């Protein structure tokens, strides 16, 4: 890869990250109402007390200086102080992040793996019953609100046939004989949230893989490969998918943006103690410091994912790579 | 969009419109979408007239709460003993209105930004597209949640928040289309004859990107309705104007799922899926018909 390309992408990353930090800072400074009365949870403050709080939180300083303090805090991993949990936001997020990564990571494996496979099957049997059923099914699942799919699964497997846990990450109050047993317990709790997330987001991958592969399979070199007597499987995978990968990679970046929204819904429905539930609780409790940090983290994740998919794109496409 | 439209071509644009409707109807996907949407619109408009919903008409005895579907209540009752069918029909309108209004905002902002960027090019384009790309990359649902949490819970805020987060893809699509039109001879000629920028953009370029905007608008509606449902479900909707998402919020919050009250959480969810699917099917079909890039490939 040319160094200039990498430099340009890095400049984009730095610029976008700077913009999102500024956007996030300003967004939470336009809050209606005096933040001090919000912090104090009641309007009954003596002017002295209000002034004292204001200087404690640095709100008496000019906006530019506040911004500078905010940025310096971020660099040192200081994400503010939660008014609801009475703890530093960074500590809370550190506990929650792992759980979300577990959930989202597993769902992503399912979505990409099954989604691409189904797209390939659909495209290589274009026009068949299997193909139309796959396309229609993808559109139907895409049209479902994630939280509602979660509610349906809870009803089916938690209320109707009681075979799977529907709340939290582990059985409350249970003691396990071994670490294996407790891992198994977590795995059981993971099943329904993961399936919910995967079901809704899989359609996008199926459709993109399908349409991208359909395009490639109508190209002349594919006809040539077929005429040479190459097996269908080999034509589809070696010649087709190799060229159809690019749009799939671009979709992955879009998917990260989507899955963040999905995680908030799924974690809320299943009380999964991750970043999504934290966001939801922060909204309910009006814990702006937590909300601000969560949003920043989501945005940064999506931006970095876009950057990485951009790099992957350049690396995969020789036309762009050599340009 | 084989034909380029000029302002004097009012009859031609009507012909294009008629041909589009015809093609949409001959496409199985498009026809399904249109039929679904007609049924839903009819239910949302006529339903509340035949079966008006009175939120204050709550149950008087314990048996009225979460009552199973019966002759008196075809879809049973909710946690306050109110008729779910009537509530469902009243909520349909709210979901549709929010989806449509938010889309009007998204389309308006996106079209203006895309038009100006593509038309003026150079630094205007560079600046506006930087701006667009920034909002394109921000995760929508978290942004919508944060904005709704900050600016409060009512219908206007919901519409504004969803509308103002949905425009970047539209701006991108419109811009790329305007860029190609900008170089067309008829535009260059009108410019040479001294046509003003506003005239060129409004009379010569906009009518030619309008079909593409329209096709995408239908898809944006689907996304907006889903976004509204999510927001309302998370408790960030308007508590007075109940939408399908609000119904699901209360169904979940009052434990309808765990108590097996399927008649409360099934109808609103199905309503959302059917409407979103209807708009998606119609939108994909329209996109196939009206998108010049896809057309060349056929």
- How far are the Cα atoms of A34, A178, A281, B126 from residue B223, in angstroms, in the given order? 34, 46, 24, 28
* Section B21-36 average pLDDT: 84
Contacts of B229 in chain A (CB under 8 A): 145, 148
Q: How many angstroms separate the CA atoms of A232 and A181, rounded?
A: 45
pLDDT above 90 covers what percent of chain A?
A: 23
Q: How many angstroms separate the CA atoms of B248 and B228, rounded?
A: 12
**Residue A185 clears pLDDT 90, i.e. is over it:** no
**Residue B221 clears pLDDT 70, i.e. is over it:** yes
Mutate to test the interface with A, among B138, B157, B250 (most CBs of A within 10 A): B138
- State ipTM: 0.87
Contacts of A192 in chain B (CB under 8 A): none
* Section B87-92 average pLDDT: 88
List, in order, residues 6 or more apart from A111 with CB less than 8 Å away: A197, A198, A201, A202, A205, A255
* Section A278-293 average pLDDT: 88
Q: How far is A235 from chain B, CA to nearest CA, in Å?
A: 22
Contacts of A145 in chain B (CB under 8 A): 226, 229-230, 233, 245, 248, 269, 272-273
Nearest CB partner across the interface for B139, out of A28, A260, A269: A260
**Residue B288 clears pLDDT 70, i.e. is over it:** yes
Q: pLDDT, tens digit, for every residue of B222-250? A: 999 999 999 999 988 888 888 999 999 99
* Section B64-74 average pLDDT: 76
pLDDT of residue B109: 94
* Per-chain mean pLDDT for chain A: 84
pLDDT of residue B8: 59
pLDDT band at B298 (very low <50, low <70, confident <90, very high): very low
Contacts of B280 in chain A (CB under 8 A): 139, 142-143
Q: Which of A172-181, B58-67, B279-288 tops mean pLDDT?
A: B279-288
**Residue B296 clears pLDDT 50, i.e. is over it:** no
Least confident of A94-103, B57-66, B69-78, B248-257: B57-66
**Residue A145 clears pLDDT 80, i.e. is over it:** yes
* Section B73-90 average pLDDT: 81
- How far are the Cα atoms of A116, A145, A317, B291, B297 from residue A219, in angstroms, in the given order? 20, 37, 17, 21, 12
pLDDT of residue A146: 93
Does residue A136 contact residue A124 with C-beta atoms inside 8 Å? no
Q: pLDDT, tens digit, for every residue of A51-65? A: 787 777 777 778 788
- How far are the Cα atoms of B58, B64, B65, B66, B67 from residue B61, in angstroms, in the given order? 9, 6, 8, 11, 11
Q: pLDDT, tens digit, for every residue of A156-168? A: 888 888 888 878 8
- Please judge whether B272 and A146 are an interchain contact, meaning their C-beta atoms are less than 8 angstroms apart: no
Which A residues in the span 103-142 are in contact with B, Cβ-Cβ below 8 Å?
139-140, 142
Helix (H) or strand (E) holding A13: helix A3-27
pLDDT of residue B1: 44
Taking the model in full, what pTM does it have? 0.88
Q: How many angstroms separate the CA atoms of A63 and A320, rounded?
A: 43
* Section B72-99 average pLDDT: 84
E-assigned strand segments in chain B: none
Query: In degrees to the nearest 10, what's the CA dihedral of A184, A189, A195, A200?
Result: -150
List, in order, residues 6 or more apart from B196 with CB less than 8 Å away: none
For chain B, how far is it from start to end, CA to CA, in angstroms? 13
- Please judge whether B280 and A139 are an interchain contact, meaning their C-beta atoms are less than 8 angstroms apart: yes
> Token pair of A106, please?
């597993």
* Section B176-188 average pLDDT: 81
Q: How many angstroms separate the CA atoms of B25 and B37, rounded?
A: 13
Q: How many angstroms separate the CA atoms of A300 and A93, rounded?
A: 14
**Residue B131 clears pLDDT 80, i.e. is over it:** yes
* Section A178-195 average pLDDT: 86
**Residue B34 clears pLDDT 60, i.e. is over it:** yes
pLDDT of residue B11: 63
Nearest CB partner across the interface for A261, out of B142, B151, B269: B142
List, in order, residues 6 or more apart from A251 with CB less than 8 Å away: A204, A205, A208
Q: pLDDT, tens digit, for every residue of A109-132? A: 999 899 989 998 888 888 888 888
> Token pair of A222, please?
């594919």
Q: How many angstroms separate the CA atoms of B230 and A275, rounded?
A: 17
pLDDT band at B2 (very low <50, low <70, confident <90, very high): very low
pLDDT of residue B69: 81
A30/B70: higher pLDDT = B70
Burial track B133-148 (b if 16+ CB lie within 10 A, e otherwise): bbbbbbbbbbbbbbbb
**Residue B295 clears pLDDT 60, i.e. is over it:** no
pLDDT of residue B245: 93
């Amino acid at each position: 890869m040319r160094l200039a390309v990498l430099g340009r992408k890095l400049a984009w990353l730095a610029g976008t990250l700077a913009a999102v930090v500024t956007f996030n800072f300003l967004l939470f400074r336009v809050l209606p109402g005096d933040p001090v009365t919000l912090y104090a949870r009641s309007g009954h403050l003596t002017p002295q007390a209000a002034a004292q709080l204001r200087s404690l939180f640095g709100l008496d300083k000019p906006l530019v200086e506040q911004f500078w303090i905010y940025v310096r805090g971020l660099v040192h991993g200081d994400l503010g102080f939660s008014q609801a949990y009475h703890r530093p936001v960074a500590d809370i997020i550190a506990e929650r992040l792992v759980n979300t990564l577990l959930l989202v990571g597993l769902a992503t494996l399912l979505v990409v793996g099954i989604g691409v496979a189904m797209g390939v099957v659909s495209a290589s049997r274009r026009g068949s019953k299997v193909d139309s059923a796959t396309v229609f099914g993808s559109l139907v699942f895409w049209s479902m609100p994630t939280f509602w799919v979660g509610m349906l699964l809870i009803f089916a497997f938690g209320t109707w046939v009681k075979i799977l846990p529907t709340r939290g990450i582990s059985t409350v109050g249970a003691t396990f004989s071994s670490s294996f047993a407790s891992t198994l317990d977590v795995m059981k709790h993971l099943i329904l949230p993961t399936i919910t997330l995967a079901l809704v987001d899989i359609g996008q991958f199926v459709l993109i893989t399908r349409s991208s592969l359909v395009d490639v399979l109508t190209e002349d070199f594919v006809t040539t490969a077929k005429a040479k007597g190459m097996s269908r499987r080999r034509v589809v995978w070696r010649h087709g998918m190799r060229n159809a990968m690019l749009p799939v990679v671009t979709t992955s970046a879009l998917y990260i943006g989507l899955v963040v929204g999905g995680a908030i819904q799924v974690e809320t429905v299943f009380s999964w103690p991750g970043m999504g539930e934290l966001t939801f609780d922060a909204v309910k409790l009006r814990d702006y410091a937590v909300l601000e940090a969560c949003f920043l983290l989501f945005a940064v994740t999506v931006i970095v994912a876009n950057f990485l998919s951009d790099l992957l794109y350049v690396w995969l496409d020789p036309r762009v790579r050599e340009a | 969009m084989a034909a380029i439209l000029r302002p004097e071509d009012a009859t031609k644009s009507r012909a294009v419109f008629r041909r589009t409707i015809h093609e949409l109807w001959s496409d199985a996907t498009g026809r399904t979408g249109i039929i679904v949407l007609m049924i839903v619109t009819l239910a949302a408009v006529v339903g509340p007239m035949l079966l008006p919903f009175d939120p204050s008409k709550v149950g008087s005895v314990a048996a009225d709460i979460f009552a199973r579907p019966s002759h008196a209540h075809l879809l049973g009752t909710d946690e306050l003993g109110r008729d779910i069918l009537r509530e469902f029909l009243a909520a349909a309108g709210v979901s549709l209105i929010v989806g449509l209004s938010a889309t009007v905002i998204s389309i308006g902002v996106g079209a203006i930004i895309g038009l100006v960027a593509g038309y003026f090019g150079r630094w205007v384009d560079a600046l506006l597209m930087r701006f667009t790309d920034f909002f394109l990359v921000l995760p929508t649902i978290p942004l919508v949640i944060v904005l709704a949490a900050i600016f409060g819970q009512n219908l206007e805020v919901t519409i504004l928040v969803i509308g103002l987060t949905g425009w970047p893809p539209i701006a991108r699509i419109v811009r790329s289309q305007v860029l190609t039109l900008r170089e067309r001879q008829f535009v260059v000629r009108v410019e040479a004859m001294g046509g003003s920028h506003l005239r060129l953009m409004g009379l010569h370029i906009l009518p030619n990107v309008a079909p593409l905007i329209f096709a995408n608008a239908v898809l944006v509606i689907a996304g907006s309705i889903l976004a509204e449902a999510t927001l309302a479900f998370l408790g960030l909707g308007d508590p007075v104007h109940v939408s399908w998402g609000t119904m699901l919020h209360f169904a979940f919050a009052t434990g309808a799922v765990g108590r097996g009250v399927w008649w409360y959480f099934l109808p609103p969810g199905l309503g959302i899926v059917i409407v979103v699917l209807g708009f998606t099917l119609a939108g994909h079909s329209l996109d196939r018909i009206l998108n010049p890039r896809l057309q060349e490939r056929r």
